[in-house]
Amino acid sequence: MTDLVAVWEVALSDGVHKIEFEHGTTSGKRVVYVDGKEVIRKDWMFKLVGKETFTVGAAQTKGTINIDAVSGFAYEYTLEINGKSLKKYMENRSKTTNTWLLNLDGVDCRVVLEKDTMDVWFNGKNMETAGEFVEDGTETHFSIGDHDCCIKAVSSGKRREGIIHTLIVDDKEIPEAVE
């Protein structure tokens, strides 16, 4: 019998990670899985509430599952990423990253730009890039197989919008994905 009580999907730069949590409310058992791999197992815990902390992804991002009693024998499970609720973390992340989903040579691909560091991730790998200043902004060049890729950064001309990042693969603009 499985005691699976919660499943979350978390989009990080190196990919989308699945976090699963088992909580045995009679035995106090707690098991955390990240991408199907068991990362924490505690059997026979007397305290049924509390938290479990672990890491997710290549950057070893901190994840915490909070276990709170709601009423009687009902429990609420919340996931925090880097100390923020999952919702708040994802809202903040949408401001600090750009994500593009595309299909290259029949393979689904995910490109992520971390705006604060200008790091580019492709299907979970941090890419080697070459940046250059151009007339209307900057270009960050990298290759995926035989494909020439470039992320252009140009000013929107509007203070509230800031800089607009565009992914171009083989001279074609790729629309940004909403995660």
Q: What is the pLDDT of residues 11-38, one digit of tens each?
A: 999 999 999 999 998 888 999 999 999 9
The pLDDT assigned to 1 comes to 47
- Phi and psi at 152, nearest 5°, equal -95, 135
- Summarize pLDDT for 100-153 with one digit per residue, the tens: 999 999 999 999 999 999 999 999 999 999 999 999 899 999 999 999 999 999
Q: What is the pTM of this model?
A: 0.85
d(CA 60, CA 85): 17
At 52-105, the pLDDT tens digits run 999 999 999 999 999 999 987 789 999 999 999 999 999 999 899 999 999 999
pLDDT at 48: 83
Contact in structure between 56 and 17 (CB atoms under 8 Å): yes
Contacts for 47-51 with beta carbons within 8 Å, 24 or more apart? Answer: 48/23, 48/75, 49/75
β-bridge partners, 113: 98, 120
Query: In whole angstroms, what is the distance from residue 175 CA to residue 49 CA?
Result: 44
Q: What is the pLDDT of residue 172?
A: 96
Phi, psi of 175 (to 5 degrees): -70, 145
Question: Can you name the residues that pair with 133 across neighbouring β-strands?
Answer: 138
156-171 confidence digits (pLDDT tens): 888 887 899 999 999 9
